[in-house]
Amino acid sequence: MELKLAKTTLNEKSKIIQLDKIEETIEKEGEGIFYFDKENSHKDLVKLVEHFEEKNFSVYLRHVKYGLNEQDYMYEVHIL
């Protein structure tokens, strides 16, 4: 599964991260916080949550608004 990470600047291109790279980070650090671009489908993010919950991790998914416009949001995922 491929997911787009949130941009850190307006002119930057979104970086793509693979599920196995996320797993490596979690195995190494034991937890992680990831910010995903709004272009990801909600369905894919729910699959990500379910994947880590099956591995007995606590996973929290939420929308983060960073502006007044309805289109100014990203997804935040905490994996513990």
- SS3 per residue for the chain: CEEEECCCCCCCCCCEEEHHHHHHHHHHHCCEEEEECCCCCHHHHHHHHHHHHHCCCCEEEEEEECCCCCCCEEEEEEEC
- 67 lies in which domain range? 2-79
Whether the pLDDT of residue 44 is over 90: the answer is: yes
Whether the pLDDT of residue 38 is over 90: the answer is: yes
pLDDT at 67: 87
Counting the structural domains of the chain, the total is 1
Who's near 19: CB < 8 A, 6+ residues apart?
1, 2, 3, 48, 51
Q: pTM value?
A: 0.90
Whether the pLDDT of residue 75 is over 90: the answer is: yes
pLDDT at 8: 87
Structure confidence by residue, pLDDT tens digits, 45-65: 999 999 999 999 999 999 999
